[in-house]
Amino acid sequence: MKGIRKPKVAGMFYPSDPARLKSEIALLLSLAQPEESPESIFGIISPHAGYIYSGRTASYGYKLLTGKDIQTVIIISPSHREYFPGVCVYEGEGYETPLGFVPVNKGIADKIVEGSKSIFKGTEGHRDEHAIEVQLPFLQSVLKDFTFLPLVMGDQGKIFIDELSNKLKQVVDENTLIVASSDLSHYYSSEDANLLDSIVEQHVKEFDYEGLIKDLEERKCEACGGGTIAAMMQAASFLGFERSLILNRSDSSETSGDRSQVVGYMSAVIY
C-alpha cells in the first residue's frame, strides 16, 4: 500500500514493542481518574511529549473515550520542524504505529480542502512530526476501528485558525472526535511555567478561545499548539459545544526532578 507514514518516534517517545506499548498505555489509563465524565464529547486537548513525561496527563483525556462510538478522529497538530503557510492534510493512505495501521478518511479529507485557499493535501509537516503520531497508540487502545484525519498547522496565525474552524464545523458529526495536540510552555522554571500555563488553563476553563489567541499573540502565555486548541474550540462553539473541563495539568519536573527548565502539559475536554 502506497503512502503509509511509518513511525518516526517509536522507541523514543513511546515503546516500539507492541506488547510493551499496550502494557504501558493500559497502566497509564488505569491510573487516570477523571473527576467527571461528560457524555457528549466534541474534542480533547492532549499533550504530545514522550509518554514518560506527558503520558499520565494524556491518559486523562483518553480515559473518557473508552467505550465511545467514535468512528473518525481529527488530529490537529502544530509543525515543530518545518514552516509553511496554511494547514496540510496528509495525502497518503494513513499512518502506521506499532499497534497497526490507521487509515486516513479520504471523504473528509476531500471535503475539508474543497474550496479552501489555505488547507491543502500534501506531506508538509507530516514527514517527521511527532505530535500526531504519539496520539495514535492511545486512540488505538481505547477505540475500536476508526479512521482519522491528520492535520498539521504550518502557521497558527488567526487567519488560519478561522479558516480551519469554519471547515471543521462542516465535516464533524456525532461520531467524530477532534484532538488538539499541544504542550504548554517550554524551558522555564517550574514556578514561571506554572504562571504561564495557568493563563492557558484559565482561557480553556472559561471557554475563551479569543482571549487565548490574543494572549498567545502578545506572548503572555505559551502553547506550541495554541492554534490547534483555538481552532478546535471555535469549531465547537459554532456547533453549540461550549463547555470545557480541565482534566489534569503537570510539567516535566514530575518525571525528571529538574525544576529549573520544564515543559508544561495539560489534558482537557470540550463537550
Question: For 184-225, what is each residue's pLDDT tens digit?
Answer: 999 999 999 999 999 999 999 999 999 999 999 999 999 999
Q: What is the CA radius of gyration of the chain?
A: 17
Look at residue 2 and tell me whether its pLDDT is greater than 90: no
pLDDT score recorded for residue 15? 98
pLDDT at 1: 54
Question: Would you call 246 helix, strand, or coil by DSSP?
Answer: strand
Q: Is the dihedral of CA 28, 254, 177, 207 positive or negative?
A: positive
d(CA 245, CA 193): 20
| Contact status, residue 120 vs residue 162, Cβ threshold 8 Å | no
User: Cβ distance 132 to 152 under 8 Å?
Assistant: yes
Q: Give the pTM.
A: 0.97
Residues with Cβ within 8 Å of 201's Cβ and at least 6 positions away in sequence, in order, are: 246, 249, 266, 268
Tens-place pLDDT, residues 65-112: 998 999 999 999 999 999 999 999 999 999 999 999 999 999 999 999
Helix (H) or strand (E) holding 27: helix 18-31
Strand-pair category, 94-97 with 100-103: antiparallel
Amino acid 243: pLDDT: 97
Give the chain's domain count. Answer: 1
DSSP assignment of 79-110 equals -SS---SSEEEE-SSEEEETTEEEEB-HHHHH
Instruction: Please report, for the domain that includes residue 62, its CATH number.
Output: 3.40.830.10
Q: Which three cell numbers stand for residue 173?
A: 458529526
| CA nearest neighbour of 202 among 151, 153, 268 | 268
Per-position b or e across 258-270, b if 16+ CB within 10 A of its CB: eeeebbbbbbbbb
State the cell numbers at 179: 484532538
> Residue 13: which residues within 8 A CB-CB, separation 6 or more?
49, 50, 51, 130, 133, 134
Q: Percentages helix, strand, coil for the chain, rounded to the nearest 5?
A: 40, 25, 40
| Percent of the chain at pLDDT exceeding 70 | 99
Residue 215: domain span: 4-270
Residue with cell 486523562: 60
